[in-house]
Amino acid sequence: MLYLWVKAFHIVFVAAWFAGLFYLPRLFVNLALVPADSHAERERLLLMARKLYRFSSLLMVPAVALGLVLWLHYGIGLGPHSGWMHVKLLLVVAVLGYHHACGSLLRRFERLANQRSHRWYRVFNEVSVLLFAAIVVLVVVKPF
């Protein structure tokens, strides 16, 4: 019975974490479009981005911790025919890297050092969606 609670909360925290990862780069698109003389708009967007990044970082911790419990304690993805788990873990590492890349990009905006266009951030925004879709397919279908 505890297994189902761990699994449920893992899903909740992963979904909430990804919600932040879906929206934070969208804020970067808006920040990249802010005119240089619009300080109030820039500061408002930066405040939103800072708060969202901090909150997403807090959600990341239980999402990863509960995933590790499912894997190491309950044995999800262990044994034969668990190649999908190896790929999923690699993708989770990529998501962690993406999360920290968002933090780095946020710090660039704070230092007024952004060199990228809003178009670049629109493409960057889709990376989290692709990672999420790939992870869900691996977990549900378990193709190998």
pLDDT reading at 28 higher than 90: yes
Token code pair at residue 24: 């934070």
Burial of 75 (C-beta count, 10 Å sphere; 0-12/13-18/19+): exposed
Report the predicted TM-score, pTM, of the whole model to 2 decimal places.
Answer: 0.94
Span 92-116, mean pLDDT?
Answer: 98
Percentage of the chain exceeding pLDDT 90: 95
In total, the chain counts a number of residues equal to 144
Q: What is the pLDDT of residues 29-53, one digit of tens each?
A: 999 999 989 999 999 999 999 999 9
CA contacts within 13 A on the Cβ side of 79: 6
